[in-house]
Amino acid sequence: MEALKEIANIAGKSGLYRIMKPSRTGVIVESLDEKKEKTMIGPTARVSVLKDISIYTDDEEQSKPLADVFLAIYEKYEDSLPITPKSASNAELAEFIGEVVPEYDRDRVHMSDVKKMIGWYTILRKNLPEVFEKKAEETTDVEATAEATPGEMPSATAETEEQKA
């Protein structure tokens, strides 16, 4: 999910934004909604790039990147999430995140953060579905490569070589 390095959350603003380009006085962002509204964000704004966000876990790594959490949600639910962030109780949110990331740290992960994460997932699925499809294709290519016997070229690579010729 390399695309998450250009997607950001801006403190005090709802939704997600695509980082367009930096300028002398801040950064230009475009909203990830139907409006595609471009805005200049000043240097004092707190901008959090999704690629840099992770969730606390109880395992030896102590955190899991948000991209991995999104992929786990996608693999389990795709577009049919069992809860909505606004109407879900804290118990429902805890059960949801426990199903997706069983090793999440129950003391340090706040349910308000889980609500944000579900909202962000919904925005990404609606406005940037290709983020999830690209990763699914990469996984399939990696599996095909792993299944190939030594000296045998996987079919995906063979097609690429034929196209080059």
Given a cut of 90, is residue 113 above it in pLDDT? yes
Given a cut of 70, is residue 134 above it in pLDDT? no
CATH number at residue 64: 1.10.10.1650
Host domain of residue 34: 3-131
End-to-end CA distance of the chain: 30
Answer whether residue 140 is part of any domain: no
Answer whether residue 16 is part of any domain: yes
CA–CA distance, 165 with 160 (Å, rounded to integer)? 9
pLDDT at residue 40, as a whole number: 94
Query: Confidence class of residue 78 from pLDDT cuts 50, 70 and 90?
Result: confident
Q: Which two tokens stand for residue 130?
A: 């290709």
Answer whether residue 149 is part of any domain: no
Give how many domains the chain has, as a whole number.
1
Helix (H, G, I), strand (E, B) or coil at 31: strand
Answer whether residue 157 is part of any domain: no
Answer whether residue 87 is part of any domain: yes
Answer whether residue 138 is part of any domain: no
Q: Which residue has the higher pLDDT, 68 or 163?
A: 68
How far is Cα of residue 14 from the mean position of the Cα atoms in its chain?
A: 17
pLDDT at residue 138, as a whole number: 52
Query: Confidence class of residue 63 from pLDDT cuts 50, 70 and 90?
Result: very high
Given a cut of 90, is residue 135 above it in pLDDT? no
User: Per-residue pLDDT tens for 3-18?
Assistant: 889 999 999 998 999 9
Q: Which two tokens stand for residue 65?
A: 């990147």
Average confidence (pLDDT) over 125-153: 59
Q: Which two tokens stand for residue 85?
A: 């962030």
Q: Model pTM?
A: 0.76
Burial tier of 43 (Cβ tally within 10 Å: 0-12, 13-18, 19+): exposed
